[in-house]
Structure 1
Amino acid sequence: MNLADTDTRSATSPTTALPVASVPGVEAWHVESPVVPMIALSFTFEGGAAQDPAGKAGCAQMLARLLDEGAGDLGSDAFQERLAARAIELSFHAGPDALGGSLKMLLKHADEAIDLLALALAKPRLDPDAIERVRAQVIAGLRYQQNDPGVMASRRFFKEAFHGHAYARPSSGTVESVTAITRDDLLAMHARIIGRGRIKVAAVGAINAEKLAESLTRAFGGLSEAGALKAVPRTTVQDLGKRIVVDLDVPQSVIRFGMAGVPWRDPDFIPAYVLNHILGGGAFTSRLFQEVREKRGLAYSVGTSLVSHRAAAMTWGYTATKNERVAEALSVIGDEIGRLITDGPSDEELQKAKDYLTGSYALGFDTSTKIAHQIVQIAFEDLGMDYIARRNAMVSSVTQADIRRAAGRTFADGRMLVVAAGRPTGF
């Protein structure tokens, strides 16, 4: 475990690793701030929905939802009552590559909060009645989503983009796959993921390094060594140039589109991030917002983002428009991508993007919870403790040559995989 002490008066200042008596297999970062008597903890375990058993998509997410449904000698109601009595906020979540959670508590209740976290992680009850209750909730949500064009478009996109790969499966599962999950599946998933060896932790607030080391030993020291994870092979977005319709009787089609990407750990990620801001990530200032919404009134919202998983990366976009205007909207989007491929952004456009991205970065560190979340993501990606200090300088140094190189890697020839949920005409 490495603890990094920083002064929260400057969230973007460099961090320094300090050796501390530790729990083997736990890496922790620390930001001490005595201003408010609270502590925020964020943590993540390597291994998420990509580890779901065959035919049982949704297993990792179900496990995450069940971890606070009773632990040790506390049933579900008793566990939740203990949290509520001390205003302790504890939650768990699972994504494609990780299962994690967050804990927020008043300093005076820190010991009890840590004990409850330790129980939830090491000794979840996974009682049959809790499993069936959560299963019913998940299935009800999945059935409701079958009429949601946004969800259906996204699911079909990932199914086609990563056909035959773990990322093609919906993290929340399907009605059939969630129905098939057993208690033994959940126990096996817990043994494989929830254990020492692949834990990243960030702690922010009124706690010093010595007390934090003690708390982390109590929280994670009782865990067994994590099991072996299934290998997740690298993959890329497939079927570029293909257009797919998910037939739904709605007046407006929801569109998802995507192409290649650059992973967060790649040296070209920052240039690709700046390029994405110019194309569709910059909210009101992006090219797509201006061309699709402001000039033509084709859509209320349109945008793009970079997706970086352990074994795949992509540039991913979204919009929604009237069925009869889908082809026009896609044509405009394609034209803007083409212009960036051939001409790149103007020098002024590039500078404005860099100014915004460097100026707004500190807004992601304005609360203890946000700081903890940001730091644990940086740790999970193994970007180094000095990433926060280096990040703005990397953005500022992006050149036109960097942008062209990133465009070549992400946009390539401009072909996209497109999925439209609705009844588009002329598509």
Structure 2
Amino acid sequence: MIRAALFALGLLAALPARAEVDIQEITTPGGITAWLVEEHSNPFVALELRFRGGTSLDSPETLGAMSLMTHTLEEGAGEMDANEFATRSEELAASFSYNVYDDVLTVSAKFLTENRDDAIEHLRESLVNPRFDQDALDRVRGQMLLIIQSDAKDPRTQASRALDKLVFGDHPYSRNGDGTLETVAALDRDNVLAAHQAGIARDRLYVSAVGDITADELSALLDRLLGDLPETGAPLPGKAELNLPGGTHVTPFATPQSVAVFAQPGIDRDHEDFFAAFILNHVLGGGGFESRLMTEVREKRGLTYGVYSYLANKDNADLWAGSVASANDRVAEAIEVIRAQWDEVRRNGITAEELEDAKTYLTGAYPLRFDGNGPIANIAVGMQMDDLPIDYIATRNDKVMAVTLEDVNRVAREYLDPDALTFVVVGQPEGLMGDTAAN
């Protein structure tokens, strides 16, 4: 019942969608910086923590350690075992979520104002004093092994993994952050403790909070919650050197439909041409049914149910990437059409109508992202990690509108690179020849 009340408050906090967000930056007496949006209309707070590093901190021998550690944080802490920790969370009507990705470990917390102090102490125990009991480690390990086995049968996952191996070489991005059957099976408690020490530290911490809390209250809360974390964690990975040789690279896989993923060099998030590239990608492959790729590959030729492209900005690499799936006897044609559109847009650009339609959509959809305390907190902490200014939300649409047709078409000529556009195909594609990507 209490959790239902918390969920209802979350929905109430989501209305109406807010296009204007007043963010204030605070620094605690203990030296923790955070971004805060005060919203006192509901007695509810969303707190977001980010630790830079993520699964990229795993060594080749301990792949999966960061994932096993992260997903065991709520499986008991302090004096509480896994069941007692879950029961206490229910009693407090507090919601905690722990996830890890290539570049970041995330912690999301939602709690009622009346239970704030107890909820923060509960969360603190999971971050500072996780138990990592052997039965919990074995249970989570078993779940991870099942996921790895399932992924081995999924052509889309295998295509993404094959592309990572080809593009990133020896960089941590080339590895499977979930680990392999062999590495995960071999992980012990010492590996998990080492991952905890490496990944959850104050030198890589980003914080945002949205809801019924003042700056002074948040300052005291954060020092209590995070003050006992290690000052420093493991060294972060360096920049990745990209291997994008062009062509098509085939990994045989028994399936009636091939999956193709593709990539070329991208553009850094803070580059002056980013917004022009952002709009260009929307027209080329990011705009759903209105995009050039969807029109040419699906609507005109019926080669796929879906095709898309996107700007992939990692901490240490930038790609312009995409994906398509098609029947084995049609995927070669789908790839040919994608290459042709890549070259067509590079040579001839987009139209003024396409630009205006893209601007209308991108500026109109943006305020809809701010539909509650949790989403706003998530956006605010992401802004910090991307080193965006605190007024970015207010100025973002102006940056989109300032892009000219000349800007977009210059970026198309300068950045779209059909020769470097590299395809990795997993399946049994007919009529495709190419190097076989590493398994």
TM-score band, normalised by the shorter chain?
over 0.9
2:412 corresponds to which of 384, 391, 407: 407
Question: Which of 260, 263, 286 is residue 258 of structure 1 equivalent to?
Answer: 263
> Aligned pair in 2 of structure 1 residues 45, 328: CA closer, same or farther (>3 Å)?
same
SS class of match (2:262) = strand
Of residues 328, 334, 339, the one that matches 1:329 is 334
Q: CA deviation at 1:345?
A: 0.3
Partners of 2:125 and 2:42 lie apart in 1 by 27
Higher mean C-alpha deviation, range 326-335 or range 179-188: 179-188
Match status 1:171 vs 2:212: no
* Structure 2 residue aligned with 1:71: 77
Please report how far the alpha carbon of residue 375 of structure 1 lies from its aligned counterpart in structure 2 after TM superposition. 0.7
Identical residues among aligned pairs (%): 37
> Counterpart of 2:29?
22
User: For residue 189 of structure 2, what is the aligned residue in structure 1?
Assistant: 183
Matched, 1:279 2:291: no
CA drift of 1:10 comes to: 8.3
Tell me what 2:48 maps to: 42
1:5 corresponding residue in structure 2: none
Change (3 A) 1:331 1:357: same
Q: Distance in 2 between matches of 1:234 and 1:419?
A: 19
| Counterpart amino acid of residue 371 in structure 1 | I
Q: CA RMSD in A?
A: 1.8
Tell me the number of residue pairs that the alignment of Structure 1 and Structure 2 aligns: 418
| 1:404, distance to aligned residue in structure 2 (A) | 3.3
Partner in structure 2 of residue 4 of structure 1: none
Asked if 1:302 is matched to 2:307, the reply is yes
Which amino acid letter does the alignment assign opposite residue 211 of structure 2? Answer: G
Higher mean displacement: 365-374 or 239-248: 239-248
Amino acid in structure 2 at the alignment position of 1:255 = A
Q: Deviations over 1:358-394 (max 9, x none)?
A: 1110111111111111111001111121111121111
Aligned residue identity for 1:392: N
Indicate how the Cα distance of structure 1 residues 252 and 122 shifts in structure 2: closer, same or farther if over 3 A, else same.
Answer: same
Compute the displacement of 1:50 (Å).
1.1
Q: Secondary structure at the match of 2:202?
A: coil
Alpha-carbon distance in structure 1 between the residues aligned to 2:414 and 2:196: 38
The SS at the match of 1:103 is: strand
Alignment match, 1:103:
109
Decide which moves more: 218-227 or 160-169: 218-227
| Superposed CA offset, 1:63-103 (max 9, x none) | 11011111111111111111122331101111111111100
Aligned to 2:11: none
Counterpart AA for 2:84: A
Q: Which moved more, 1:224-233 or 1:264-273?
A: 224-233
Cα offset, 1:407, TM superposition: 2.6
> 1:185/1:409 Cα in 2 relative to 1: closer, same or farther (>3 Å)?
farther
Conserved 8 A contact 2:26-2:219: no
Moved more, 176-185 or 75-84: 176-185
Q: Does the CA-based 8 Å contact 1:45-1:198 persist in structure 2?
A: yes
- TM-score, with length taken from structure 2: 0.91
Task: Give a deviation string over 1:211-233, Cα, whole Å, max 9, x none.
Answer: 11121122111212122414423
Q: Once the two structures are superposed, what CA deviation does each residue of 1:255-311 show, in whole Å capped at 9, x if it has no partner? A: 111111112222222111111101111112111111111111111111111111111
Instruction: Report SS of the residue matched to 2:46.
Output: strand
- After TM superposition, list the pairs within 5 Å mapping 1:393-404 onto structure 2: 393-404=398-409
CA distance in 2, matches of 1:72, 1:105: 20
Please list the CA deviations of residues 125-178 of structure 1 after superposition, one character each: whole Å capped at 9, or x if unmatched. Answer: 111111111111101111111111111111111111111111100111211221
Contact 1:314 1:410 in 2 (8 A): no
Q: Structure 2: where are the runs of 5+ without partners?
A: 1-14, 433-439
Residue number in structure 1 paired with 2:201: 195
- Offset, 1:9: 7.8
Under a length normalisation based on structure 1, what TM-score does the superposition of the two structures give?
0.93
Alpha-carbon distance in 2 for matches of 1:312, 1:417: 16
Equivalent residue number for residue 3 of structure 1: none
In the alignment, structure 1 segments of 5+ residues that lack a partner are 1-7
Distance 2:344 2:195 in 1: 47
Aligned to 2:215: 209
Alpha-carbon distance between aligned partners in 2 of 1:107 and 1:17, rounded to the nearest angstrom: 20
| 1:162 equivalent in structure 2 | 168
> Against the structure 1 CA distance between its residues 404 and 59, is the aligned structure 2 distance closer, same or farther, given a 3 Å change threshold?
farther
Q: Which amino acid aligns with 2:268?
A: P
Q: Given the alignment, which residue of 124, 130, 133 partners 2:136?
A: 130
